[in-house]
Amino acid sequence: MNLLSIDPAAIDWARAQFALTAIYHWLFVPLTLGLGLIMSIMETRYYRTGDAFWRRTTQFWQRLFGINFAMGIATGIILEFEFGTNWSNYSWFVGDIFGAPLAIEGIVAFFMESTFVAVMYFGWEKVSRGFHLASTWLTWIGATISAWWILVANSWMQYPVGCEFNPTTMRNEMTSFLDVALSPFAIDKFCHTVISSWIVGAVFVVAVSGWYLLKKREAERELALKSLPIGALVGLIAAIGAAVTGDESAYKVAEVQPMKLAAMEALYNGGNDVSLTAVAAVNPFAQPDYANEKEAPLRLAIPNGLSILATRTLHGYVPGINDLLKGYTREDGTVEPSAQEKMARGRMAIAALNNYRQLAADEKTFADQDTDGRITAAKEEQLNILKDNFKYFGYGYIKDESELVPYVPLNFWAFRIMVGLGTLFILFFAYILFLHWRKKPISSKRWLLWLAIILVPCAYICSECGWLVAELGRQPWTIQDMLPVGASVSDVSSSAVATTFWLFLVLFTTMLAVEINIILKQIKKGIPLLTPPQAEK
């Protein structure tokens, strides 16, 4: 691909538009996954007890779930279309692999959700309690399976496995579906992402319940008091689970995306016995002078913490930004090339690919004249050069080694906001459960109820920060070490992408405002009225 033909402004606008869509889409997904689990638990209580209260409570939370669910579908569809409109080179290069999990998500998970969500909303009087309960759980399971396949596709971009490049078709082709679907990186990412999404649902349920208690809504008092411990229990399990799975995810990042880890930690120079940064004075508005600074100023750190996190050993070696750029020797004795060497080998791979394709065309044209097979032999030679250097293929498009360093301030602070808020959620949910266990009146602790409401936007900020680290930490790569962003975009004018960016900004903001307005109205409306006695049969 000739990068000179791509308008640099188009690259920036394509990135901005995709980031905009992804951020808005992720405002809806975590609540779907978290609230879906909690409402399923509540309907299970109704199934086991036959108490009409639990049916009404389930229906109340299902109303809020449905509003959010519809908005999430709308933004998700737009997100997938953007792969074709703005990222056609990427889609062509990896369509055989990336398209498979997305297709399965659409065919299996999406249809599973759409089928059972209809029964969940309209089948209360038409199917048995057991079948309706199964439909509610299957709606949530379908949404979770949908998240699984989306995260498999995303994880492959972070850690490409199970594929082989075909120089004839210029595409990466899948060699093992199981390697793609069951990648350790994908499993860790799925567990951490989904479990952390439950926190959003739990905070939402606790906050709504807290609002009813603050407003002294007697009609919803029982709903609030019985929903609070369920939401807090799910939240505590999720917050602890997110911490555990986050630790494992960080270990995988250290293994396959060391530059991301270095950016998250503002680690300029690595080594053995590396400490884990708690906080440091990293300027949020400027890339640090990592080449000349030993470490971030005013740094407070946990001794040997990063070595333990990244290597599972007390004295393990962790490379910093400068080590990754200059090259270093791993503890097993293998030498990691410098950025300059990787870039040189990447250019060799690109040149070999171009030569191979030209020789392949010549071989067809002059097949009857190449009696001694010189063209065929030259083609095989270029193919071998390509194979030997393909590991660094993407580096051939990098013009300066500074492009290989993600924006450190955003990664550093987003990671700390995520961890800090995650710790706060553990304490928050644990305290609510402690009060419930001691049978203390939660409704009398107004500060705690106000805190629950304040933590709703904090839960979304925490979730979005996780995605910022995951996606911006691997820049400049669309596919880690294989395809940079500049080689992935469509050859379209920047004005066209900019126009749709502003249209989407207005559309998504309107959708978000509409959802918030409808949800607030439904919350104020409160719990559904009692159903007729015959409906409980």
Contact between 456 and 68 (Cβ < 8 Å): no
Contact between 198 and 235 (Cβ < 8 Å): yes
Residue 77 pLDDT exceeds 90: no
| Phi and psi torsions of 165, nearest 5° | -80, 130
Alpha carbon distances (Å) from 450 to 90, 104, 226, 234, 300:
46, 43, 18, 20, 32
Residue 371 pLDDT exceeds 60: no
SS3 336: strand
**Cross-strand pairs, 335:** 329
Q: Round to whole Å and give the CA distance between 530 and 60.
A: 12
Q: Round to whole Å and give the CA distance between 144 and 190.
A: 9
184 cis-preceded (ω within 30 degrees of 0): no
Q: Round to whole Å and give the CA distance between 116 and 139.
A: 5
For the chain, the residue count is 537
Q: Round to whole Å and give the CA distance between 407 and 469.
A: 10
In terms of Cβ atoms closer than 10 Å to its own Cβ (0-12, 13-18, 19+), residue 431 is middle
Residue 425 pLDDT exceeds 80: yes
Tell me the pLDDT tens digit for each residue of 436-490.
Answer: 998 888 888 899 999 999 999 999 999 999 999 999 999 899 999 899 998 888 8
> Would you state the pLDDT for residue 4?
45
Short-list 430, 518, 490, 459, CA closest to 197: 459
SS3 532: coil
Residue 391 pLDDT exceeds 60: yes
> Would you state the pLDDT for residue 532?
47
What's the average model confidence in pLDDT over 192-219?
A: 94
Tell me the pLDDT tens digit for each residue of 139-191.
Answer: 999 989 988 998 999 999 999 999 888 888 888 889 999 999 999 999 999 99
Residue 372 pLDDT exceeds 60: no
Alpha carbon distances (Å) from 228 to 34, 56, 149:
14, 16, 32
Amino acid identity for residue 191 in this structure: C
* Cα dihedral 204, 207, 208, 212 in deg (nearest 10): 170
**Cross-strand pairs, 328:** 336
Window from 347-351, 478-482, 528-532 with minimum mean pLDDT: 528-532
Between 109 and 533, whose confidence is greater?
Answer: 109
The two structure tokens encoding residue 109: 């998970």
Q: What is the mean pLDDT of the chain?
A: 89
Q: Round to whole Å and give the CA distance between 269 and 290.
A: 8
Q: Round to whole Å and give the CA distance between 258 and 160.
A: 15
Instruction: Please list, in sequence order, all residues whose beta carbon lies within 8 angstroms of the beta carbon of residue 477, skipping any fewer than 6 positions away.
Output: 157, 394, 483, 484, 485
Instruction: Count other C-beta atoms under 10 Å from residue 504's C-beta.
Output: 18
3-state SS track over 407-462: CHHHHHHHHHHHHHHHHHHHHHHHHHHHHHHCCCCHHHCHHHHHHHHHHHHHHHHH
Alpha carbon distances (Å) from 71 to 204, 231, 416, 510:
17, 23, 29, 11
| Phi and psi torsions of 186, nearest 5° | -70, -40
The two structure tokens encoding residue 36: 């879906």
> Would you state the pLDDT for residue 10?
86
> Would you state the pLDDT for residue 98?
84
**Cross-strand pairs, 380:** none
Q: Round to whole Å and give the CA distance between 475 and 19.
A: 13
Report how far apart the first and last C-alpha atoms of the chain are (Å, whole number).
67
SS3 531: coil
**Cross-strand pairs, 336:** 328
Residue 109 pLDDT exceeds 80: no
> Which residue in the block uniquely carries the two structure tokens 């074709």?
84
HSE-CB for 425 with a 13 A CA cutoff:
39
Alpha carbon distances (Å) from 198 to 148, 194, 203, 235, 465:
15, 7, 9, 7, 16
> Which residue in the block uniquely carries the two structure tokens 């640090």?
288
DSSP states of 355-404: HHHHHHHHHHHTTTT-TT-HHHHHHHHHHHHHHHHGGGGGGGG-SSGGGG
Is the C-alpha dihedral spanning 467, 473, 479, 483 positive or negative? positive
